[in-house]
Chain A
Amino acid sequence: MLRLSPADRRVWLLITIMVMVGALLIPFSQLVLDIEMTYTVRTVALGGSVLGVVSGVLGCFAVLRRESLMGDALSHAALPGVGIAFLLAGRDLGALLIGAGIASWLGVQFIRALMSTTRVKQDTAMGIVLAAWFAAGIALLAYIQARPDASQAGLDTFIFGQAAAIVERDVQLITIMGLMAFIVLGLFWKEFKLVTFDPEFAGANGFRTGLINTMLSTLIVVAIVLGLQLAGVILMVGMLIAPGIAARQWTHKLDQMVILSAVFGAFAGGAGAMFSAVDADIPTGPMIIVAAFAIVTLSILFAPGRGLVWSLLQQRRDRRRFAARSTLRDLYKYACDHGAPSHPVPAALIIGMGRARASLGLRQLEKGGFVKQSGEYWLLTAAGAELAARDARNQRLWDIYREYSNELDLPLIIEDRQRDIHDLLPEPAVRKLEHKLEGGLA
């Protein structure tokens, strides 16, 4: 049995759930939405899922390298390649894709050259390539359309994608190209990881960062070119980065992020394609984007440890804990100053010490059975008194740690006074502190 941390277990659980929900989607769409699983629907859904996996995996790197909009620039930049390939080789899908890939690839190289030789920033460089390459593509398409024969019809579907035209051969092509991309990714995993997270370190350690960058960009170009037919140039950027952004919310580990992103991508692609089959008027590409965005939204809201809902809950918990603790201290100090920990404290006084915080704290403490109210007074229960005494002692130990840690030759830890010093320091060290405390008292 593998030993997994809770965070890891959460991610794998999520992956399992997503796969299962994805599998349930097929009967759901048939039974509830009443979609007929025709050849087209099946092919498009399969194509969408496979493309989701490919672009989800490769998109992770685009997101992590802060090149999210690279997908936008490169998908537009593919157009002149389509035009030139058509002029040279006619309407052959393979040739068109290769042409698109070469044009995008040249676009990447232009962006890098521009950034390394001038003060033009990355976003501007991407915008230049996007617009100029796209213009070249439009100019070429306009020239092609002037041809007397009609063989060019439908070339411009490359701009907006046409999911319904996907056939089984296209899905096979996406699958094979995607697998090849994954093999390259697997072989150079370490290099890609290093260049993505710390390019300077990689360069200093003798990795050829330029070459690795080019390879990674090439893989991203592959994903974009494969997606053009389905999603079109404009939506491809969303297809590329949305699964990665969603996956990033759930984990801090690259391998988990990549797998999760693949699952999200497959889910968005398949679900989007199926929902678009509900009505003939709903286009597939946009529906996939909407599905992907829904996953991103849910992830941003609910991802454990990072999501907005999670941090709101965390804040609330922290506020309560802080209120309870400081109110307990106030009570204890007042009571002890007046004789004994069980000495009653006037309610007006304790509220006056901290207003909203104090009443919140009193509620929390009362719920825990640490204080009780009697008339106009609050008093500590036995449990409350014990807790307060332990806390006071803990604070004293922290004080001593701060003052004498050098002298007593104690290990260096980050001072976190909210926590019990016993949890953070090894036992002998704490004993030294306690000795000092008692000695100081004596």
Chain B
Amino acid sequence: MFAIESLIIDLLMNFFTREEINAFLRNPQNTAIIIGSLIAISGALLGSFLLLRGMALTSDAISHTVLLGIVVAFIIMGAILNQEPDLSSPWLIIGAAAAGVVTVVLTELIHRSGLVRQDAALGLAFPLLFALAIILISRFVEDAHIDEDAVMVGEIGVAWANTNSHCIDNCETVIITPESTRAEFTRQCTNCRELGISPRDAGAEFQEICSNCGTYSPGQAWRAGLIENEPILVFWPQAITVTALMALLTIGFVLLFYKELKLSSFDAALAKALGFRPGVLHYALMVLVSLVAVGAFDAVGSILVIAFFIIPPAAAYLLTDRLSVMLLLSAIIGSAGAFFGYDLARGNFLGIVQMSEVLALLNRLFGLDLLEQWDSSISASMVLMIFFFFLLAWVFSPRYGLISTLLKRANQRYRFNNQVVLGHIYNHQHSEEEVTELIADRLHEHFRWSRARMTRVLARLRAANLIQIADNIVRLTPRGEDRVRLFRQRDLATHAPGEN
């Protein structure tokens, strides 16, 4: 991980100065937005395929059960390998990936019994695994490095502070051993604690202990005043590396297996028949989802990462029918949410509304005592922005949006009303039934419509010069008859071949 960071920094140093890089990365906003966008891209790409496979909520389940993988990895590291538990250890990644696969396997096992439906199987499997994780945490994990709180609700705003320092110049590593001249010693009582005596009592034994021995990285050495030249350091947030790797892995996976993923998402049976291995791909996808979930939990928390998996693809799904466009759009929507979400957390909604003004207004209107300064969770605000973009897509999507759907339905109702009334008149006019079937102010009874509805439809048809009303009897105008004939020839012929 460290080596990769060095590589990236070397690359960046060709274009920017050290000060520029440090200043950029030390700005919490830049770091948070970069990390947010990287998670958004991975989530959007994987989430699109999950959505198309009808397993959107699998990401929800996996992001919860990743906790079990982390806990088990912690316990293995601590108890068996005697290592200091560390959140960036490869064991953690293995644990998380395994947890994801276990979730999917357990769900399928329950489902395959044929006794429990898919959704119920998922709803059984992941609370169980999550419950086991919590029991393990409370029983075996002593130190407070992990608890369910930290894993469920992360905070992207502090990611900039957790850095690796990379030395560029004046790199002097200092090693102080007890023999070296700079070593400092203190006397320490070796048996006071076990005998319960104070160092001043007789019988106390002492030992000279080196208090500053150890290896100092250039940054530490400079801070301890061990070297004279200030090393040139770049402070690189760890979370950027982790999330960037996840994003690269995801993009690489999607590019490499685009065709296979597409085929197996839309027609798993065909994919199998053509000799692809949809099962292998399925599990690879699940492993990637777990990896992204574990890579992201530090930054956004494992519940909010679900939003990055589900909401951008759903928004893109409302906007397009093409898979490639959907992938691109959902990545853009997710990143845009990350970009504008940072400002929202600081109370600035797209530069249009200031939260402080809203809170002040609420206080004034309802006599409340709300703090008028809005300072909130950044990752949650990013999700809320993504959700806002989803709402926009839902309302305004040209093809599947609320407005176009409602217009379409209104139009269909309008045409349906016109056609059935015209058809009814056409069938009965100029016959004996005319006097019973076509009475203008009783026509609504034949359709079981309200009088108002029929009046509206008749007025419309009359205005269009399709019908005429004489002696309270409705008849078609020649234009209306033409319209009915045309409709029967064209629309009925294509839609219902049995008719006519």
Listed in ascending order, the chain A residues whose CB lies under 8 Å from chain B are 63, 66-69, 71-72, 76, 87-88, 114, 117-121, 123-124, 126-128, 130-132, 134-143, 146-147, 156, 159-160, 234-235, 237-239, 241-242, 245, 248-249, 279, 281-283, 285-287, 289-290, 293, 296, 300, 303, 306-308
8 shortest interchain CB distances as A-B pairs: A238-B127, A131-B307, A286-B131, A135-B383, A142-B377, A127-B310, A132-B387, A138-B380
Q: Which chain A residues lie closer than 8 Å to B371 at the CB level?
A: 143, 146-147
Which residue of chain B is the closest to A116 with respect to CB atoms? B405
Given contacts A127-B310, A142-B380, 14 further A-B contacts (CB under 8 A): A66-B119, A69-B60, A128-B311, A131-B310, A142-B377, A143-B374, A238-B123, A281-B139, A282-B138, A283-B138, A286-B132, A287-B131, A289-B131, A306-B115
Asked if A118 and B122 sit within 8 Å, CB to CB, the answer is no
Chain A CB within 8 A of B244 CB: no
Which residue of chain A is the closest to B374 with respect to CB atoms? A143
Q: Which chain A residues lie closer than 8 Å to B134 at the CB level?
A: 160, 283, 285-286
Asked if A159 and B152 sit within 8 Å, CB to CB, the answer is yes
Which of A128, A160, A234, A307 is close to B127, meaning CB atoms less than 8 Å apart? A234
Q: Which chain B residues lie closer than 8 Å to A139 at the CB level?
A: 345, 376-377, 380-381, 384
Asked if A146 and B373 sit within 8 Å, CB to CB, the answer is yes
Nearest CB on B from A248, distance (A): 8
Which residue of chain B is the closest to A303 with respect to CB atoms? B115
Asked if B130 and A131 sit within 8 Å, CB to CB, the answer is no
From B50-58, B264-272, B426-434, give the one contacting chain A.
B50-58
Asked if B123 and A72 sit within 8 Å, CB to CB, the answer is yes
Listed in ascending order, the chain B residues whose CB lies under 8 Å from chain A are 51, 54-57, 59-60, 64, 110, 113, 115-117, 119-120, 122-124, 127-128, 130-132, 134-135, 138-139, 148-149, 152-153, 301, 303-304, 306-307, 309-311, 314, 317-318, 345, 368, 370-371, 373-377, 379-381, 383-384, 387, 390, 394, 400-402, 405-406
The answer to whether A124 and B51 touch (CB under 8 A), given A235-B130, A281-B139, is: yes
Which residue of chain A is the closest to B359 with respect to CB atoms? A143
Nearest CB on B from A198, distance (A): 17
Which residue of chain A is the closest to B315 with respect to CB atoms? A128
Distance of A293 Cα from B56 Cα, bound (Å): 24
Asked if B130 and A242 sit within 8 Å, CB to CB, the answer is no
Which of A118, A241, A308 is close to B318, meaning CB atoms less than 8 Å apart? A118
The answer to whether A135 and B148 touch (CB under 8 A), given A241-B120, A282-B135, A282-B138, is: no
Q: Which chain A residues lie closer than 8 Å to B54 at the CB level?
A: 121, 123
Nearest CB on B from A137, distance (A): 8
Which of B113, B117, B307 is close to A132, meaning CB atoms less than 8 Å apart? B307
Distance of A189 Cα from B287 Cα, bound (Å): 44
Distance of A171 Cα from B317 Cα, bound (Å): 45
Which of A120, A121, A300 is close to B116, meaning CB atoms less than 8 Å apart? A300
Which of B64, B149, B390 is close to A128, meaning CB atoms less than 8 Å apart? B390
Q: Can you list 16 pairs linking A and B with CB atoms under 8 Å apart?
A: A117-B394, A118-B394, A121-B54, A127-B60, A128-B310, A128-B390, A131-B311, A134-B303, A135-B384, A142-B376, A143-B375, A156-B153, A234-B127, A238-B127, A248-B115, A289-B128
The answer to whether A130 and B306 touch (CB under 8 A), given A120-B317, A285-B131, is: yes
Asked if B307 and A135 sit within 8 Å, CB to CB, the answer is yes
Which of A123, A283, A296 is close to B135, meaning CB atoms less than 8 Å apart? A283
Asked if A242 and B124 sit within 8 Å, CB to CB, the answer is yes
Distance of A306 Cα from B400 Cα, bound (Å): 43
Nearest CB on B from A224, distance (A): 13
Asked if B55 and A290 sit within 8 Å, CB to CB, the answer is no
Which of B120, B368, B384 is close to A136, meaning CB atoms less than 8 Å apart? B384
The answer to whether A290 and B59 touch (CB under 8 A), given A139-B384, A300-B113, is: no
Asked if A290 and B132 sit within 8 Å, CB to CB, the answer is yes
Nearest CB on A from B130, distance (A): 6
Distance of A369 Cα from B368 Cα, bound (Å): 90
Q: Which chain A residues lie closer than 8 Å to B120 at the CB level?
A: 63, 66, 68, 241, 245
The answer to whether A132 and B384 touch (CB under 8 A), given A87-B370, A118-B400, is: yes
Kindly name the residue among A69, A88, A300 whose own CB sees the greatest number of chain B CB atoms within 10 A. Answer: A69
Which residue of chain A is the closest to B402 with respect to CB atoms? A117
Asked if A68 and B374 sit within 8 Å, CB to CB, the answer is no
Nearest CB on A from B349, distance (A): 12
Distance of A238 Cα from B65 Cα, bound (Å): 14
Q: Which chain A residues lie closer than 8 Å to B310 at the CB level?
A: 124, 127-128, 131
